[in-house]
Structure 1
Amino acid sequence: MPETISAVPLAEIQSQIQQGQFDAALASIDHHLTGNVGRDDKVELCYMRIVCQRYLKQYGQALESATQLLSLRPDYARAWQERGYLYQAQKQPYEAAKAFYQATRLNPALLASWQSLLALYQAQGNEQAVKLTQARIERLKRLPKPILAATDLMNEGKLLQAEKLCRQFLRQHKHHHDGLCLLADIAQQMKVYDDAEFLLESAVEIYPDSAQAREQYASLLIKIGKYYRAKQQTEKLINMDPNNERASSLQATSHIGLGELDEGIKGLKYLLSKTPEKYGLWLELGHAYKTQGQRQQAINAYRNAYLKNANCGDAFWSLANTKTYQFTEDEIERMREVFSSENAAENDKIHAHFALGKAFEDRQNYADSFEQYRLGNDLKFGSNGYSAQFTEDRVEKQIQSLTPELFEQFAGAGCDSTDPIFIVGLPRSGSTLLEQILASHSQVDGTMELHNILGLARRLSVNPTRNGQVYPKSLADLKPELMRRFGEQYLEETKAYRQGAPFFIDKMPNNFMHVGLIKLILPNAKIIDARRHPMACCFSGFKQLFGEGQDFSYDLEAIGRYYRDYVRLMDHWDEVLPGAVLRVQHEDVVNDLEGQVKRLLDFCGLPFESQCLDFYKTERAIQTPSAEQVRQPIYRSGLAQWKHFEPYLEPLKRALGDDLLNEYERFL
């Protein structure tokens, strides 16, 4: 039985601190910290302990407590602010300035830290820093107090409280510029992207001259894969101010997302010629070169990123994520230093753990490799809030709602286009290989992982019908002409990613959840299920750090349960849509490339073309982690790579279950 997590009277302790009862508060804090408390409560208790110790002038103990708290949560801005106060009290202005700066970097709404920094910069005579800090203070002071408070809460990760406060303010001050932008930021962090998009679209319409709103809007559009619209926004920003470097950076990213790689690279190189110290631009440049297949240029850019910022864990992970890069001993030591750096954010450490896992795996040091993967996954999973039960419920809703009767009800509805070829499945299942094979055909355009179907599902999930139903149950309430409209809208939205071939690929693995929706709006679309042995697929996902989403992949039990749910739902689609989905087993492709290529092409109604067998020679933009792998001929070495880690994978095996594992035994 798991140990019961204790309830902590945080409000009572906070009241004691406010009343100056620091000894009593400290005793209560230490008592509760000896028990089993949740992570969030532990963070709050540790923070209040620092405050008490500072007021009691126990500066040494307080600094030690701050170090302990930051080891638990490196991105906790208020712990850095307390450090600044402690160094100030001990007449250490340089250390105080570093601490306050880190606090403002993590939470730009900490007015007290900015004000402390201003005094320190003034004492140093640092005029440039004084000017910048004064501008930030004035900006924060101009914000309405509820918006400043909500911004502070958001930056501390208290999103629900921030949202509630912001909405209360907007009810009284409708269409307030900062309120709209902040609520959109909160929605984005909560991954409610449709709400964020609507709010920012409204903001740029109401405040067309607001560079802040338009930059935020363009950045969101990039995040959700709407690169063409993002590019339109960046063009307007640059017309407003040709020297807007942030707008130029967003425009370059938009070009890259649209496959206009030469334009994107040109833009990034121009920005770097002006500001070569910006490591984030080097990262972007590396990603662009990797997408283009320029491996050495990508490596050089990633190296520049970590040379500009030693704590840039993303640079090390990006090198690892080329899949073929071999780290030097010096780079391994640099990655270790990220873990001990006080200035490294938690995300930097996560990236470094995954990169170091890859470095040790390449050296066949599988025990240390798995430990690094485990540490990175634990940090990532602990903060993403993933619920396996929620996924199970989503799958069950699809099965209960998408019935033979529903498809009969909408027979003949939908858009009759045959253009799209969807590739679905799990990440790391061989889907990029299938995409590359098909994209090598003269009649097929390769695109990218398009978000359009996921976006439609999200919209239907938040907009109830007259009967009060939401997606997927609401589908039965919709009119047939809506299905056609949704299909036509999908084709219109994806037009920007095509190059003129009769067919195009939408390789979004997560669309397996929405196969039924796809067949309702695009009944003639082809759907391919990329399947891989469960142990190989799941472990490959576990050691992959994804840029966005795939929250299930950071825990062995969770990813195993997710795989089972995926199989259960694909079995349902086979039952209610017989013959609509072609299942392609990755191991079969590796063992019989020509046979599986012909099978793929036959399913898509395409004549055989020999260049599909030479897929690795096809030059195109590839934005997934498998980019380097599919630029090489088929190889077998990855089929059972997970077996090196088998002693550590018992939680995954239990979650998958013997019945499922036995079913796929023949593919080993």
Structure 2
Amino acid sequence: MNIAAGTDADSDDRDALLQEARRLRSQQRIPDALAILARLQALHPGFSRQYQERGHCHILRQDAAAAIDALREAVRLNPTLPASWDMLEQLYRMLGDTAQAAKAAQHLASLRELPQEIVVANSLFVDGDLSPAEEVIREYLRKDGDNVGAVRLLARIRQECDALGEAEALLKSVLEQAPDYNAARLDYAMVLLQQQKHREAQQEAEHLLEHDPDNREYLKQYCAACVGLGDYEPVIDLYERLLVSPPLQVTEVADLRLWRANALKIIGRQQEAIADYRASLAARPDYAVVWFSLANLKTYRFTEDEIAHLRAAESRSATMQAMDRIYLCFALGKALEDRGKYASSWHYYERGNALRRAAGRYCPGVAESCALRLKQTFTAEFFAARAGWGADDPAPVFILGLPRSGSTLLEQILASHSSVEGTQELTEISRYAGELSGSDPDCGLPVHHEALQRLTAADARALGERFLAETRIYRRLGKPFFIDKMPNNFWHIGLIHLILPRATIIDVRREPMACCFGNLKQLFGTTNQEFAYGVEDIARHYRLYLDLMRHWDEALPGRVLRVQYEDVVEDIEGNVRRVLEHCGLPFESACLSFHETRRSVRTPSSEQVRQPIGREGLAQWQCYAAWLAPLRDALGDALTGYGA
């Protein structure tokens, strides 16, 4: 789900504003029409047809220069606007600019050579009108099913609808017919990347770069694939290379600086990361995601001037994309928390959560139904009948639980051992669960668990070996053990045990008020943690997590090691020895000085685990106790039963 893409209501509002501007223009009320278009631009800056309408208005005002500016922006956003190209050609000819007039005429002629359905569908697609675009292009493909351009467009529409598997299959078919269709190959790489198929995406980007090594879009795609694989060093240099190219739009400078800063942060070069974040803001001062990224360092302290800027930017909500306001709210929540202004901080955390929850599709009932079906499928009898199945390899170490539970701390501790490599939050297990059981479209959890009962011993072994093969690319150090720190794998403990019976599984658990509050004040970068944006949702999810973990303990006694975060803080050496013993590893003192270990850390705790362990996080939530009574009530007996 793309929460930044807008809702149907947003589209209706957008189209209503455009219609109103057109009505006002038809009445010769040009200033009023332009005022409506200014509002439309603030709300939907990427909507191409508003700029075309602005061009019409300026033509009526006999302002050729302003009309050209508006129409050029329209065709930049959407090259399939015949009316805009037509007006541009006429305006350029009127001004005597024959070269630009010829270019516009050429674009117009090219569009007229295409089937009208493709032009219409592409124009609708660019402006985010996915359903009508898909209807038009599917109708056309019934007549001309071999048109690779049309199939590619359908794939792009399905990609935007989050039907990534279908988009991948369509693009693969296009490349089989037209292997040199590089635009389709770039789309194919992007779809692979969205499905966490990072190595395949990287290979497609490498193929493109063989043909055009300086192509900026190919280089960006290659960088994105490298980031997915956890390979950050080349990315930092490549982004710098892209930044020195002549002249760039400020939006591209801001993006490149942001992406480079993110890579620098992950490998622990914090001061350089901050410098790039600031450079991004210098290019684009109200770039909300960058302000949030500074806050998400957890160690950055905003100045009073910066907080004032953030407040002013957030107050302009009527002219702001919903996701930008969410970023600003969470950044302000953290900035004010650091200054001890807890009432104001909570105000922004609460507002950001409400906005983020409204943008999502999380339904607690779906998750609870999934847990019930898991318990009905993965019984002690199920596992007894399948004893000895799976790949016989002890290398994987799964650290799981809820976000903000201390799992990154434990990962850093274990990754400081000479025999253990830390990788990242890998997505292979959840992908396998989806392949086997199907996925709920809103929360991604498996829906048909009975399919797992049809697996054979050979299937289980093959799936375990597939996991070991597909994760090998993340293991660069060649150590005997490696960590998969995907918190959501607590849903898939049954599958993990079935395909990797010798893998280590560790559940990191944190006191419920602290854990739930930690989630409420964290804006996550994906749609995996949709439960984290409401007091009732996070409380129900915590209780559900406890219930499912009790089931795994009953169905697989002793299989999962529980580590209590508070115990690690109070007695790090004792708990480190306990964890290492469970993993079958000798004690190493480097695990106690984990903060000195230099490695890439991608989670929100990246900077915290580069510091010695402290007690300050244990009762942090108590500063917000005045506003957390509903959370306490919703957690109920989980407050006392979480350790049982």
TM-score w.r.t. the length of structure 2 is 0.86
CA distance in 1, matches of 2:31, 2:362: 38
> Which residue of 1 is the match for residue 479 of structure 2?
501
Q: Do the aligned partners of residues 440 and 241 (structure 1) sit closer, same or farther apart at CA in structure 2, a change above 3 Å counting?
A: same
- Whether the aligned pair in 2 keeps the contact of 1:225 and 1:451 (CA below 8 Å) is yes
SS at match of 1:380: helix
> Which residue of 2 is the match for residue 262 of structure 1?
233
Q: Do the aligned partners of residues 289 and 461 (structure 1) sit closer, same or farther apart at CA in structure 2, a change above 3 Å counting?
A: same
- Whether the aligned pair in 2 keeps the contact of 1:487 and 1:522 (CA below 8 Å) is yes
> Which residue of 2 is the match for residue 22 of structure 1?
none
Q: Do the aligned partners of residues 318 and 605 (structure 1) sit closer, same or farther apart at CA in structure 2, a change above 3 Å counting?
A: same
> Which residue of 2 is the match for residue 541 of structure 1?
519
> Which residue of 1 is the match for residue 443 of structure 2?
none
User: Displacement, 1:630?
Assistant: 0.6
- Whether the aligned pair in 1 keeps the contact of 2:55 and 2:70 (CA below 8 Å) is yes
Q: Do the aligned partners of residues 215 and 52 (structure 1) sit closer, same or farther apart at CA in structure 2, a change above 3 Å counting?
A: same
CA distance in 2, matches of 1:97, 1:393: 57
Report matched runs for 1:144-293 at 5 Å: 144-174=115-145, 176-275=147-246, 277=248, 278-293=253-268
Aligned pair count reads 625
SS at match of 2:507: strand
SS at match of 2:637: helix
User: For structure 1, which segment, 203-212 or 165-174, has the greater mean C-alpha deviation from structure 2 after superposition?
Assistant: 165-174
1:308 aligns with 2:280: no
Q: Do the aligned partners of residues 77 and 266 (structure 1) sit closer, same or farther apart at CA in structure 2, a change above 3 Å counting?
A: same
Q: Percent of aligned positions with the same letter in both sequences?
A: 43
Q: Do the aligned partners of residues 255 and 338 (structure 1) sit closer, same or farther apart at CA in structure 2, a change above 3 Å counting?
A: same
User: Displacement, 1:247?
Assistant: 1.2
User: For structure 1, which segment, 398-407 or 428-437, has the greater mean C-alpha deviation from structure 2 after superposition?
Assistant: 398-407
User: For each residue in 1:608-663, what CA deviation from the matched residue of structure 2 results, as whole angstroms up to 9, or x when unmatched?
Assistant: 11111111111111111211111011112222222333333455445x33222343
Report the residue type matching 1:418 in the other structure. Answer: P
- Whether the aligned pair in 2 keeps the contact of 1:74 and 1:342 (CA below 8 Å) is no
Report the residue type matching 2:468 in the other structure. Answer: L
User: For structure 1, which segment, 558-567 or 309-318, has the greater mean C-alpha deviation from structure 2 after superposition?
Assistant: 558-567
Report matched runs for 1:328-477 at 5 Å: 328-336=303-311, 338-339=313-314, 340=316, 345-462=321-438, 471-477=448-454
User: Displacement, 1:164?
Assistant: 4.9
> Which residue of 2 is the match for residue 608 of structure 1?
587
> Which residue of 1 is the match for residue 565 of structure 2?
586
Q: Do the aligned partners of residues 119 and 315 (structure 1) sit closer, same or farther apart at CA in structure 2, a change above 3 Å counting?
A: farther
User: For each residue in 1:521-574, what CA deviation from the matched residue of structure 2 results, as whole angstroms up to 9, or x when unmatched?
Assistant: 112211112222233223322322222212332333333333333222222222
User: For structure 1, which segment, 119-128 or 290-299, has the greater mean C-alpha deviation from structure 2 after superposition?
Assistant: 119-128
Q: Do the aligned partners of residues 587 and 184 (structure 1) sit closer, same or farther apart at CA in structure 2, a change above 3 Å counting?
A: farther
User: Displacement, 1:368?
Assistant: 2.6
User: Displacement, 1:336?
Assistant: 4.4
User: Displacement, 1:371?
Assistant: 2.8
Q: Do the aligned partners of residues 137 and 541 (structure 1) sit closer, same or farther apart at CA in structure 2, a change above 3 Å counting?
A: farther
- Whether the aligned pair in 1 keeps the contact of 2:42 and 2:320 (CA below 8 Å) is no
SS at match of 1:293: coil
1:484 aligns with 2:461: yes
CA distance in 2, matches of 1:582, 1:96: 67
Q: Do the aligned partners of residues 636 and 463 (structure 1) sit closer, same or farther apart at CA in structure 2, a change above 3 Å counting?
A: closer
Structure 1: segments with no counterpart, 5+ residues: 1-36
CA distance in 2, matches of 1:530, 1:391: 20
User: For structure 1, which segment, 176-185 or 97-106, has the greater mean C-alpha deviation from structure 2 after superposition?
Assistant: 97-106
User: Displacement, 1:301?
Assistant: 0.9
Among 526, 533, 554, the residue aligned to 1:554: 533
User: For structure 1, which segment, 487-496 or 240-249, has the greater mean C-alpha deviation from structure 2 after superposition?
Assistant: 240-249
Report the residue type matching 1:257 in the other structure. Answer: G
Report the residue type matching 1:226 in the other structure. Answer: K
TM-score w.r.t. the length of structure 1 is 0.83
User: For structure 1, which segment, 633-642 or 146-155, has the greater mean C-alpha deviation from structure 2 after superposition?
Assistant: 146-155
Report the residue type matching 2:405 in the other structure. Answer: S
- Whether the aligned pair in 2 keeps the contact of 1:109 and 1:152 (CA below 8 Å) is yes
Q: Do the aligned partners of residues 503 and 58 (structure 1) sit closer, same or farther apart at CA in structure 2, a change above 3 Å counting?
A: same
User: For each residue in 1:369-426, what CA deviation from the matched residue of structure 2 results, as whole angstroms up to 9, or x when unmatched?
Assistant: 2333333333333333333333233223322332333323433222121111111222
Q: Do the aligned partners of residues 154 and 364 (structure 1) sit closer, same or farther apart at CA in structure 2, a change above 3 Å counting?
A: farther
Q: Do the aligned partners of residues 225 and 396 (structure 1) sit closer, same or farther apart at CA in structure 2, a change above 3 Å counting?
A: same
CA distance in 1, matches of 2:619, 2:94: 62
User: For structure 1, which segment, 85-94 or 478-487, has the greater mean C-alpha deviation from structure 2 after superposition?
Assistant: 85-94
CA distance in 1, matches of 2:134, 2:552: 38
SS at match of 2:244: helix
Q: Do the aligned partners of residues 327 and 526 (structure 1) sit closer, same or farther apart at CA in structure 2, a change above 3 Å counting?
A: same
CA distance in 1, matches of 2:506, 2:179: 43
User: Displacement, 1:495?
Assistant: 0.5
SS at match of 2:301: coil
CA distance in 1, matches of 2:126, 2:631: 35
CA distance in 2, matches of 1:587, 1:123: 75
- Whether the aligned pair in 2 keeps the contact of 1:75 and 1:346 (CA below 8 Å) is no
User: For structure 1, which segment, 92-101 or 554-563, has the greater mean C-alpha deviation from structure 2 after superposition?
Assistant: 92-101
- Whether the aligned pair in 1 keeps the contact of 2:490 and 2:549 (CA below 8 Å) is yes
SS at match of 2:505: strand
User: Displacement, 1:54?
Assistant: 4.2
> Which residue of 2 is the match for residue 10 of structure 1?
none
CA distance in 2, matches of 1:565, 1:108: 50
User: Displacement, 1:44?
Assistant: 5.5
Among 544, 547, 566, the residue aligned to 2:545: 566
Q: Do the aligned partners of residues 165 and 398 (structure 1) sit closer, same or farther apart at CA in structure 2, a change above 3 Å counting?
A: farther
- Whether the aligned pair in 2 keeps the contact of 1:323 and 1:628 (CA below 8 Å) is yes
- Whether the aligned pair in 1 keeps the contact of 2:370 and 2:447 (CA below 8 Å) is no
- Whether the aligned pair in 2 keeps the contact of 1:81 and 1:99 (CA below 8 Å) is yes
CA distance in 1, matches of 2:114, 2:464: 43
> Which residue of 2 is the match for residue 11 of structure 1?
none
CA distance in 2, matches of 1:652, 1:310: 36
SS at match of 1:331: helix
SS at match of 1:364: coil
User: Displacement, 1:175?
Assistant: 5.3
User: Displacement, 1:154?
Assistant: 4.4
CA distance in 2, matches of 1:200, 1:592: 54
Q: What is the root-mean-square deviation in Å for CA atoms of aligned residues?
A: 3.6
Q: Do the aligned partners of residues 92 and 201 (structure 1) sit closer, same or farther apart at CA in structure 2, a change above 3 Å counting?
A: same
SS at match of 2:584: coil
Among 646, 659, 665, the residue aligned to 2:625: 646
User: For each residue in 1:103-132, what CA deviation from the matched residue of structure 2 results, as whole angstroms up to 9, or x when unmatched?
Assistant: 667767666566666767777889998898
User: Displacement, 1:307?
Assistant: 1.2
Q: Do the aligned partners of residues 440 and 204 (structure 1) sit closer, same or farther apart at CA in structure 2, a change above 3 Å counting?
A: farther
Q: Do the aligned partners of residues 104 and 474 (structure 1) sit closer, same or farther apart at CA in structure 2, a change above 3 Å counting?
A: farther
CA distance in 2, matches of 1:254, 1:263: 11
Point out which structure has higher relative CO (alpha carbons under 8 A, 6+ apart): 2
User: Displacement, 1:448?
Assistant: 0.9
SS at match of 2:256: helix
CA distance in 1, matches of 2:343, 2:59: 44
User: For each residue in 1:231-267, what CA deviation from the matched residue of structure 2 results, as whole angstroms up to 9, or x when unmatched?
Assistant: 2222211111122111122223333433433222222
Report matched runs for 1:98-177 at 5 Å: 112=83, 144-174=115-145, 176-177=147-148
CA distance in 1, matches of 2:99, 2:378: 62
Q: Do the aligned partners of residues 264 and 85 (structure 1) sit closer, same or farther apart at CA in structure 2, a change above 3 Å counting?
A: same
User: For structure 1, which segment, 50-59 or 495-504, has the greater mean C-alpha deviation from structure 2 after superposition?
Assistant: 50-59
